[in-house]
Every structure is written in structure tokens, then in C-alpha cells.
């Protein structure tokens, strides 16, 4: 047994070390049939508590405690949302349950299983991620100094004052150099260190709203807004931009902003530049576009904060603004920032390194280095910063290094769900019989299924819609749920109607762009995908590929990519994300079709379909793969669309669709 001692890591971080968690060997050679994502035993008894009303600091403390405790045997389970989303999966664990009224009492209950606390620095957001990595290595919790005092926790490591808030890349460089050698190399994690929480009861004044569906920038203009009514506020003026019509994208888009106090400019900036930073109060729910603009779609938003000089009588803001905007103002700080606690139980239990590196610039280069340190098909679980642009850049960088992405940042209680004993069916559903006729065959697919937190949360909401099953629909899910959520996948398999078909989400066993993979690594990925598709009874794939260099559209799957799928998976057909629906090919003998992504709800969708088939003469079958926006549509919307589509349309499941397509094209 190792004696207790204290040792000093590079650059002054002190760790008090004992006999647990001192080191962890690198990646061992895995068996071909070994699970890609680890589990930590079957849960038999769970201590359950509600944490939905706790602060991010307390949730972080408890989630990292959960990771250490559940690594040995899953015993802690938390409900994170006021609606009880996590509780609906609890019966499926098969475990006996003891409920606790005060979640923080569980710290004392399990204090003997942890070595103490790693203190993160409240002044340096990214220290939360370093503290999480260290918590996994040191069998500790991530906490503030005050939490350690209140709960009587020994300080294992103190990160206060170690890192600089303005240089997150240096923080993660230190972690890669000093901690990664001790981490497990079978999993990487990407989690935001903080989250933004809305302050309740904030009153907003509406300033401007676009009521028409404008998606082409045709209403772009410099508009002047008078914020003088907000000058009475003591903490400045908060100006929020949202999507006025949140069901179809194309929300508020902002170009140059100029602020004038009594006619004198006190601020002027373009989104995405250093000049914007002092005024961007909350931009986490927005993205930067290619037109030097910031935009927010759906439920997203962004907020600027302006402070006028004392004595100012008139405050005006000139904004280059377009598309479907809603502009509001308040004098009350509308949000607060606190640690992001989710999925950290799995990261801690796995002893994985967690980072949050924007894929562009210097941080992108460091992200490349992180990816290069692991073997092909190593999963990166979590997500990327900078919303849509971060997704495209991050997934592409991961793909270039043979790393697939598992969107998991809001996946809760993973250490429990991964160990549940549930029978996942490997049986491929029989293809419904159909007669090939001169019709327009439409198959509809709900996206987002690669995202395991979507499968755990929002997909369950959609699945519970009473109108599900009225119209044939394909549901993308992640085959990797067989590892990290077998009871979830088994539930969807067991309760599917004859009109529900589960297919592999982009682009198989993990979200990736196959065209960016080196050939040898691509074969490893499709072999992995084939193993999980056979294990879960799936033979259709909804796929993404890398974007064209000019950024307009995607690169189609070519012979090399599809041959790899054909040789290594049971795939019978591929739907590629395409938007315009004008891709139909048969590379390597596998039918490949690009989807069509109409905007709006049922009526607009139908109109777009009618426009799409205007050139069809009705003398042969026509095939359309229609995309369904999982965040804006429900099965009720699909049922409404089905009622609107009469002759010549016929809606079919994906397996029937590809069977008919195969017969039509020979």
C-alpha cells in the first residue's frame, strides 16, 4: 500500500496524495467486441434526490461525488429538472430506491468514499474542467473553498490563482501536459465549464419585432432604438435579441452596432471581433455567421450590456438588423453564470480528461493535438463551443483524427444508465409490403438521434405524443445507446408502433463526417458502426459529411465512403443531410439520397413538396427523403402534414422507401 504523502505538480499545484487514484495506465489494447463506452456495474439500490433547485456549484459537487461513488457501484441518482425528466427513466433501472429530501445530505453519507475536494477558481471558469479531470484522478469532488469548509472536506488540490481567466488555451495546455498522461485514453470529454441561468421575474420592454417570415435578409436595415427609458437603471441597459418566430430558424441577425449617448458614440463594434467582447453580456445561445453577424434561432438569444455616462439624457443604439427579430430591453441583470454540472459523473468515473476548446484559431490547434493523442475510434463525448460553427469545425477536426463525437453534454445519470440490465433487440424489423407504382414516395426522418441527451430527454417528449404512429416516421437514434443507455434504447424498441422505424443517427456509431477520415481509420469506424448496428437491429443510416470548402452545402458521399459502409456494415440505404433534396446516386451499389429540408410547419412543408415535384411528369416513381426538425416538430405536426398530403404522395417507412427505390433503379 502506498503511504500518504504530498507532492507538487508542475507550476505549483499542490496535491495531497494517498493510496487511491495516484495513476492510471494508458489505453490497453481493447478486445474487438469490448464496449466502446464503459459501464460501472448494475445498479441494484439507488439513493435518489432532486437537485433541480440547487445552484450550479452544489450540482457540480454532487455530480462529481456521483462519479466517484458510482465508479465502484452505481448508487446515486439525481433529478436535474423541475419537470422530473430524469425520474421517468428511474423505474427502468430495476433498482430499489431510497428517496432523500435534501440532496446535500448525501455528501456526508458518502464522504468516506472520497478523498476530499479539488477547489476550482470562481474567477477562472475553465478551472471547473481541470477540477473535474483531477476529481476523477484523485477520487475527489470539485468544489469551492466554502463548500469544502461547510462539508468538512479535506483539500486535495487547490486551483485558485493557478490559471488566468483570459487565457483558457494555456489552462488546457497545462492540463494536457500534466494530467492527460494519468487519464484514461479511451474517452475524451468536451463540456462547457459554465452555464447561464436565467434570473426569474425579469421584466422586459419590447422594442421591435418582425412579424413576417423573412428568411432571405430582405428586411436588412440599420434601425435606431431609443433606450432612454432604461437610463434609470443602476446596472446599465441590457439589450436582448431573439427569434420572433421560433419554429423555423432564421432568427435575429445583427451586424454592426453603434451606441450613442446624447449623440456621441460611446461604443461601436462588429460581432465576432475583440471590440464586441466588452459589451456581450450573454452570447452562449448564439453563433457568429459568415457575414460578420451574430444570430440566434429558435429558443436562442444574445444580450448586450451598455453603460451610459453619468447625466446622459438620451441613449440610442443603431443596429444593422435583419430576418425574424425580437428586440427587448431591461435594466435588471437577466442571467447569472455558474458551473455547468451535467455529464460529469461519467467523466469522473471514466477518469477522462475534459476540455472546452473552440475549434478555430489557436485553441483549435490544441484541440487537434488532443485528438492526435488517442487511437482511431476513440469517442469524444460532450459538445463544442460556438454553437453551429463550433459543431461543423469541431466534428470535422475530430473526423480528421479518426475520433467520433457523442453529443452528451446534457446526458444525466450516465453512470447509472450505462449499467442497467436491459435487453436490446438485434432483430431487424420486417419490411412492410408495398407495391411499386408511379407515385411520389416520401419518407420522413426525425433528426438529432446521434445526440444521446436528446434520446434521453426531448425524444421521450416527442415519443409520448398521442399522435405518434399515425404516419410512418424514421427516428434517428444512436446505436451507442446499447452501451450507455440500453434501457432507453430497449424502451423505444419495445414501444414502437408499426409506423415507427429506428435508424442509425449520423453517421453510425457516433456523429462524424466520414469524408474527413483517413481511409484506414474510416474502415475502423464503419467496422465499429457495423458491430453496433447489428447489435441494435439497424440497417439504415442517416449521415452527415463535411461541408464544402466554400461553406455552401455538403460534400456528397463518394465511392470510397460508401464502399466502406457496404463492406463493414449491414446498411441497405443511406440518407445524407443535403437540404435541397437533389442528390440521388448508387455508389458502391448502395442507394444514397440527399434529404429535402423545407422550412416552417405542415402547410409550408406541403407547399415546398409541391414546388419540389413541379417538373415530375408522373410516368415513373419519384423518391423524396424529407427531414423533420426534431426541435420544432412533433408527431402531431407530422400527422397534420400526413392529412394535407393526398395524391400523388405516399408516406412510407425508410425500409420500405429503400426497398422501392432499389426496385425502381434496378
**Residue range 103-109: mean pLDDT, rounded:** 98
Task: Identify whether the C-beta of residue 258 lies closer than 8 Å to the C-beta of residue 328.
Answer: no
pLDDT at 21 over 60: no
Cis peptide before 19 (omega within 30 of 0): no
pLDDT at 248 over 70: yes
Contacts of 347 (CB under 8 A, 6+ apart): 67, 132, 133, 136, 187, 189, 191, 354, 381
Task: Identify whether the C-beta of residue 508 lies closer than 8 Å to the C-beta of residue 522.
Answer: no
Cα 378 from Cα 261, distance rounded (Å): 54
56-72 residue pLDDT tens = 999 999 999 999 999 99
Provide long-range contacts, Cβ within 8 A and 24+ apart, for 78-81: 78/48, 78/49, 78/50, 78/51, 78/103, 78/412, 78/413, 79/48, 79/49, 79/50, 79/51, 79/52, 80/51, 80/52, 80/341, 80/342, 80/412, 81/52
pLDDT at 511 over 60: yes
The whole-number pLDDT of residue 665 equals: 86
pLDDT at 426 over 80: yes
Which residues lie across from 302 on neighbouring strands?
241
Provide long-range contacts, Cβ within 8 A and 24+ apart, for 276-279: 279/304, 279/305, 279/306
pLDDT band at 20 (very low <50, low <70, confident <90, very high): very low
Query: How is residue 212 written as a grid cell?
Result: 413576417
The whole-number pLDDT of residue 6 equals: 27
Task: Identify whether the C-beta of residue 571 lies closer than 8 Å to the C-beta of residue 539.
Answer: yes
**Residue range 400-424: mean pLDDT, rounded:** 98
325-330: strand order across its sheet: 205-209, 325-330, 237-243, 301-306, 280-282
Least Cα distance to 281 among 301, 298, 257 occurs for 301
Task: Identify whether the C-beta of residue 534 lies closer than 8 Å to the C-beta of residue 571.
Answer: no
pLDDT at 4 over 70: no
Least Cα distance to 228 among 203, 258, 257, 262 occurs for 262
Least Cα distance to 37 among 514, 540, 528 occurs for 528
Least Cα distance to 449 among 403, 392, 493, 506 occurs for 506
Domain boundaries, the chain: 5-194+338-417, 200-333, 440-665
User: SS3 of 407, please?
Assistant: strand
205-214 residue pLDDT tens = 999 999 999 9
The whole-number pLDDT of residue 32 equals: 61
Average predicted confidence (pLDDT) for the chain: 93
CATH superfamily of 440-665: GxGYxYP glycoside hydrolase, C-terminal domain (3.20.20.490)
Task: Identify whether the C-beta of residue 320 lies closer than 8 Å to the C-beta of residue 222.
Answer: yes
Least Cα distance to 192 among 55, 284, 119, 303 occurs for 284
The whole-number pLDDT of residue 553 equals: 85
- 377 burial (CB, 10 Å; 0-12 / 13-18 / 19+) is buried
Q: What is the 3-state secondary structure (H, E, C) of 47-87?
A: EEEECCCCCHHHHHHHHHHHHHHHHHCCCEEEECCCCCCCH
User: DSSP letters along 523-574, please?
Assistant: HHHHHHHHHHHHHHT--EEEE--PBPTTSSSBPPP-HHHHHHHHHHS--SEE
Neighbours of 302 (CB within 10 A): 23
pLDDT band at 307 (very low <50, low <70, confident <90, very high): very high
DSSP H helices, 227-386, are 344-350, 361-372
The whole-number pLDDT of residue 189 equals: 98
Cα 439 from Cα 458, distance rounded (Å): 34
Instruction: Give the burial string for 518-551 (b: 16+ CB within 10 Å, else e).
Output: eeebbbbbbbbbbbbbebbbbbbbbbbbbbeeee
Task: Identify whether the C-beta of residue 74 lies closer than 8 Å to the C-beta of residue 416.
Answer: yes
The whole-number pLDDT of residue 258 equals: 98
Q: Backbone phi, then psi, for 299, in 5-degree steps?
A: -90, 5
The whole-number pLDDT of residue 5 equals: 24
Cα 98 from Cα 109, distance rounded (Å): 13
pLDDT band at 484 (very low <50, low <70, confident <90, very high): very high
pLDDT at 526 over 60: yes
The whole-number pLDDT of residue 31 equals: 56
pLDDT at 509 over 60: yes
Query: How is residue 626 written as a grid cell?
Result: 424529407
DSSP H helices, 90-155, are 105-109, 127-138, 145-150
Contacts of 474 (CB under 8 A, 6+ apart): 443, 444, 445, 446, 501, 502, 503, 540, 542, 653, 654
Dihedral of the alpha carbons of 81, 87, 92, 93, in degrees to the nearest 10: 80
Cα 28 from Cα 439, distance rounded (Å): 54
Lowest mean pLDDT among 166-175, 230-239, 563-572: 230-239
152-191 residue pLDDT tens = 999 999 999 999 998 999 999 999 999 999 999 999 999 9
**What is this structure's pTM?**
0.89
Strand pairing report for 287-288 and 294-295: antiparallel
Instruction: Give the burial string for 173-210 (b: 16+ CB within 10 Å, else e).
Output: bbbbebbbebbbbbbbbbbbbbbbeeeeeeeeeebeeb
335-360 residue pLDDT tens = 999 999 999 999 999 999 999 999 99
Distance of CA 631 to the CA centre of its chain: 12
pLDDT at 25 over 60: no
The whole-number pLDDT of residue 133 equals: 98
- 443 burial (CB, 10 Å; 0-12 / 13-18 / 19+) is buried
Amino acid at each position: 500500500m502506498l503511504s500518504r504523502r504530498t507532492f507538487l505538480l508542475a507550476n505549483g499545484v499542490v496535491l495531497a496524495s494517498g493510496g487511491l487514484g495516484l495513476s492510471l495506465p494508458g489505453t490497453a489494447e481493447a478486445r474487438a467486441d469490448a464496449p466502446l463506452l464503459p459501464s460501472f456495474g448494475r445498479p441494484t439500490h439507488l439513493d435518489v434526490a432532486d437537485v433541480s433547485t440547487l445552484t450550479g456549484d452544489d450540482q457540480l459537487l454532487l455530480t462529481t461525488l456521483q462519479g466517484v461513488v458510482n465508479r465502484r457501484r452505481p448508487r446515486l441518482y439525481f433529478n436535474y429538472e423541475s419537470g422530473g425528466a430524469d425520474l421517468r427513466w428511474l423505474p427502468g433501472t430495476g433498482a430499489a430506491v431510497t428517496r432523500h429530501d435534501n440532496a446535500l445530505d448525501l455528501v456526508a453519507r458518502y464522504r468516506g468514499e472520497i478523498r476530499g475536494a479539488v477547489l476550482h477558481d470562481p474567477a477562472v471558469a475553465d478551472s471547473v474542467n481541470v477540477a473535474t479531470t483531477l476529481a476523477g484522478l484523485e477520487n475527489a469532488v470539485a468544489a469551492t473553498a466554502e463548500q469544502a469548509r461547510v462539508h468538512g472536506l479535506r483539500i486535495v488540490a487547490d486551483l485558485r490563482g493557478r490559471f488566468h481567466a483570459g487565457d483558457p488555451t494555456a489552462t488546457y495546455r497545462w492540463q494536457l501536459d500534466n494530467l492527460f498522461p494519468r487519464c484514461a485514453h479511451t474517452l475524451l470529454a468536451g463540456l462547457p465549464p459554465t452555464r447561464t441561468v436565467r434570473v426569474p421575474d425579469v421584466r422586459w420592454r419590447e422594442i421591435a419585432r418582425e412579424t413576417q417570415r423573412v428568411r432571405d435578409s430582405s428586411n436588412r436595415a440599420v434601425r435606431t432604438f431609443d433606450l432612454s427609458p432604461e437610463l434609470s437603471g443602476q446596472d446599465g441597459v441590457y439589450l436582448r435579441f431573439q427569434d420572433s418566430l421560433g419554429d423555423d430558424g432564421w432568427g435575429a441577425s445583427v451586424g454592426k452596432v453603434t451606441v450613442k449617448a446624447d449623440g456621441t458614440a460611446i461604443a461601436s463594434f462588429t460581432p465576432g471581433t475583440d471590440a464586441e467582447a466588452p459589451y456581450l453580456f450573454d452570447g452562449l445561445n448564439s453563433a457568429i455567421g459568415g457575414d460578420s453577424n451574430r444570430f440566434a434561432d429558435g429558443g436562442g438569444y444574445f444580450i448586450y450590456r451598455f453603460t451610459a455616462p453619468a447625466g446622459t439624457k438620451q441613449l440610442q443604439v443603431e443596429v444593422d438588423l435583419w430576418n425574424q427579430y425580437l428586440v427587448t430591453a431591461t435594466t435588471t441583470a437577466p442571467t447569472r453564470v455558474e458551473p455547468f454540472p451535467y455529464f460529469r459523473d461519467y467523466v469522473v468515473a471514466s477518469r477522462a480528461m475534459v476540455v472546452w476548446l473552440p475549434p478555430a484559431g489557436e485553441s483549435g490547434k490544441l484541440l487537434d493535438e488532443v485528438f492526435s493523442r488517442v487511437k482511431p475510434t476513440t469517442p469524444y463525448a460532450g459538445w463544442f463551443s460556438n454553437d453551429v460553427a463550433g459543431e461543423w469545425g469541431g466534428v470535422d477536426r475530430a473526423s480528421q483524427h479518426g475520433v467520433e463525437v457523442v453529443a452528451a453534454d446534457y446526458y444525466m445519470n450516465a453512470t447509472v444508465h450505462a449499467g442497467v440490465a436491459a435487453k436490446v433487440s438485434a432483430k431487424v424489423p420486417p419490411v412492410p409490403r408495398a407495391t411499386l407504382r408511379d407515385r411520389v414516395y416520401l419518407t420522413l426522418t426525425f433528426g438529432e438521434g446521434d445526440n444521446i441527451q436528446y434520446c434521453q430527454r426531448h425524444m421521450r417528449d416527442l415519443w409520448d405524443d398521442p399522435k405518434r404512429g399515425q404516419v410512418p416516421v424514421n427516428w434517428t437514434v444512436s446505436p451507442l445507446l446499447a452501451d450507455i443507455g440500453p434501457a432507453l434504447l430497449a424502451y423505444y424498441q419495445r414501444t414502437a408502433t408499426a409506423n415507427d422505424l429506428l435508424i442509425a443517427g449520423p453517421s453510425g456509431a457516433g456523429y462524424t463526417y466520414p469524408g474527413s477520415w483517413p481511409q484506414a481509420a474510416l474502415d475502423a469506424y464503419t467496422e465499429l458502426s457495423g458491430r453496433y448496428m447489428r447489435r441494435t437491429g439497424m440497417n439504415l443510416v442517416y449521415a452527415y459529411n463535411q461541408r464544402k470548402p466554400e461553406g455552401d452545402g455538403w460534400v456528397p458521399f463518394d465511392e470510397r465512403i460508401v464502399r466502406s459502409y457496404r463492406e463493414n456494415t449491414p446498411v441497405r440505404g443511406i440518407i445524407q443531410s443535403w437540404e435541397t433534396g437533389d442528390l440521388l446516386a448508387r455508389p458502391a451499389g448502395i442507394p444514397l439520397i440527399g434529404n429535402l429540408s423545407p422550412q416552417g410547419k405542415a402547410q409550408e412543408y406541403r407547399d415546398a413538396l409541391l414546388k419540389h415535384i413541379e417538373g415530375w411528369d408522373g410516368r415513373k416513381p419519384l423518391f423524396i427523403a424529407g427531414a423533420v426538425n426534431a426541435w420544432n416538430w412533433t408527431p402531431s405536426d407530422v400527422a397534420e402534414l400526413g392529412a394535407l398530403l393526398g395524391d400523388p404522395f405516399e408516406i412510407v417507412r425508410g425500409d420500405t422507401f429503400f426497398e422501392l427505390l432499389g426496385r425502381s433503379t434496378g
